[in-house]
Amino acid sequence: MKHRITIAALMLALVGLVGVPAAANAQQVPDITDAEFLGQAAQANRFEIVTGALAQERARSRTVRALGKMFKVDHTAALAKGSAVAAKLGITPPAGLNPAQQKTADALAKLRGRKFDRAWLKAQLAAHVEAVALHLRGALNGDTADVRTLAITALPVVSQHLGELTVVAGEKRHSHH
C-alpha cells in the first residue's frame, strides 16, 4: 500500500507541475532545444539499458535484478521512440553514454552483490531524478510538438521508475542497519 501511495503522490506532484500552463512555468524551467533534449534522452536511455543489463548480471537482490530487467526493456522502447522522432526531425543524437554515465557504468561493472546493489540504487535514483527533470523541460519547452509529446508520454514511465527506486532504496536503508 505504501508503495502505491508513494507512486500516486509522485504522479500527483508531476501532474501539478505539467498541468500548469507552459507560459506560467516557462520562467522557472530552463529552456532546452529539441537536439539537446533528444541527445540527453538518448544517452539517459542507453545508460539505463547498460546498467539494467549489469543489474541482471551482478546484483544480489532479486528486486534489483528485476528493476534492471524492467529498466532495460522500458528504456530500449523509449530509445526507439526517441530515435524515430530524431530521424523525423533530422537530428542525430550523440552516440554512447556521456562521460559521467560511462564512469558510473565502469564503476558498477567492477562491483558484485550487496556493494553493487547499493551503488546501483544510488546511481539509479540520481539518474531518474535527472530524467524526470529532463522530461519536464522537454514537455514544457521543447521546440516542436513531436518532442513535447515524446517527453510527456515518457514522464509516467520515468516517474514510475523513480517511485519504485525510492521505495526499494527506503526498504534497503531500513533493513540493513
Q: Does residue 74 fall inside a structural domain?
A: yes
Q: Is the pLDDT confidence value at 135 over 90? A: yes
DSSP track, 36-87: HHHHHHHHHHHHHHHHHHHHHHHBSSHHHHHHHHHHHHHHHHHHHHHHHHHH
Helix axes 34-58, 145-175, angle to 10 degrees: 30
Residue ranges in the chain assigned as alpha helix (H): 2-19, 22-25, 34-58, 62-89, 99-109, 113-141, 145-175
Q: Does residue 7 fall inside a structural domain?
A: no
Q: Does residue 157 fall inside a structural domain?
A: yes
Q: Does residue 161 fall inside a structural domain?
A: yes
Q: Does residue 5 fall inside a structural domain?
A: no
Give this prediction's pTM: 0.83
Any idea what the CATH number is for the domain that residue 54 is in? 1.20.1260.10
What does the pLDDT look like over 57-103, one tens digit per residue? 999 999 999 999 999 999 999 999 999 999 999 999 999 999 999 99
Q: Does residue 1 fall inside a structural domain?
A: no
Q: What residues make up the domain containing 103?
A: 33-175
Q: Does residue 59 fall inside a structural domain?
A: yes
What does the pLDDT look like over 4-35, one tens digit per residue? 444 444 444 554 444 444 444 445 678 899 99
What does the pLDDT look like over 155-176, one tens digit per residue? 999 999 999 999 998 887 776 5
> Can you give the pLDDT at residue 148?
97
Q: Does residue 2 fall inside a structural domain?
A: no
**How many domains are contained in the chain?**
1
Residue 76 and residue 68: Cα distance in Å, rounded?
12
